[in-house]
Amino acid sequence: MAIPTSLGGSGDGANPKEVLVSSVTTCYTATLVFVLESRKLPVVELTVDSGANISENEFKITHHPHIVLSADATQEQIESAHRAAEAADKGCEVGNLLKKADVKIEVQGKVSTK
């Protein structure tokens, strides 16, 4: 961690907002894994990339989960995986705390089969 140069710090290392985004991404990912496993979906691969738009007027985090299901996944399982991506957002405690502080969090998920 480092204090940004604009505040008199060295600027070397992650700033507190980057650490916060990492924390909410980790929470979201762990929650998503739990939801997918509890639904017994045939997940082959899961990746989550998150980005943040931080400005004077807005702090917005966008999660981009990509859930890859097995080639024999049913349409119902594909739809369940889409719903799981949204459910994980609602179940992430770190994200819920940030939402109370007016941080916007959205999910732009993708589900595919392999």
SS3 51: strand
Q: Classify residue 28: in a domain, yes or no.
A: yes
Domain range spanning residue 86? 16-113
Under DSSP, the state recorded for 68 is E
pLDDT per position as a tens digit, 36-73: 999 999 999 999 999 999 888 999 999 999 999 999 99
Q: What is the pLDDT of residue 13?
A: 75
In a domain, 3, yes or no: no
Asked whether 22 and 11 are in contact (CB, 8 A), the reply is no
- The answer to whether residue 4 sits within a structural domain is no
Q: Is residue 21 part of a domain?
A: yes
pLDDT of residue 74: 98
pTM > 0.85: yes
Would residue 7 count as lying in a domain? Answer: no
Residue 2 lies in a domain: no
Residue 33 lies in a domain: yes
Looking at the 3D structure of the chain, how many domains does it have?
1
CATH code of the domain containing 73: 3.30.300.20
> Hunting for tokens 């589900």 — which residue is that?
111
Query: What pLDDT does residue 11 have?
Result: 73
Domain contains 6:
no
Q: What percent of the chain has pLDDT over 70?
A: 97
Q: Output the CA torsion sign for 26, 89, 53, 55.
A: negative
